Amino acid sequence: MKLDKLNKEIRMHCPTCGGTDFSVVEHEEEKLVTCSQCERQMTRSELYEENSELLTETQNEIAKEAQKQLEAELKKMLRNAFKGNKNIKFK
Ligand SMILES: [Zn+2]
């Protein structure tokens, strides 16, 4: 099973301006991200929280794609298993 194409980057959006470009600064406890467009500064978890809907959506997408690939793989396995048997035909 190949899931390479599922390795897509999740694009975070700035809650203020919707920008997707951030610079990350090491902080004592948590990494701070700064939007390069409006210069809003927040912690990484804040940014995740603001984008939680987007993250869930992406997760669902990945799960759906994985299932699709699994089904295709299974079909191929079945087809191979019955190869040479003329009584069973697959479309
Ligand atoms: Zn911004």
Instruction: List, in order, residues 6 or more apart from 77 with CB less than 8 Å away.
Output: none
- How much is the pTM? 0.58
Residue closest to 35 by CA, chosen among 52, 55, 12, 1: 12
Banded model confidence at residue 11, pLDDT cuts 50, 70, 90: confident
Q: Does 2 have pLDDT greater than 60?
A: no
Q: Which residues keep their CB under 5 angstroms from ion ligand 1?
A: 14, 16-17, 19, 35, 37-38, 40
The alpha carbon of 82 and the centre of ligand 1 are apart by a number of angstroms equal to 57
pLDDT digits (tens, 9 = 90+) for 35-82: 999 999 999 889 989 999 988 998 899 999 999 999 999 999 999 888
Mean pLDDT of 15-27: 90
Average pLDDT for 84-88: 68
Contact yes or no for 61/49 (Cβ under 8 A)? no
Place of tokens 């995740």: 48
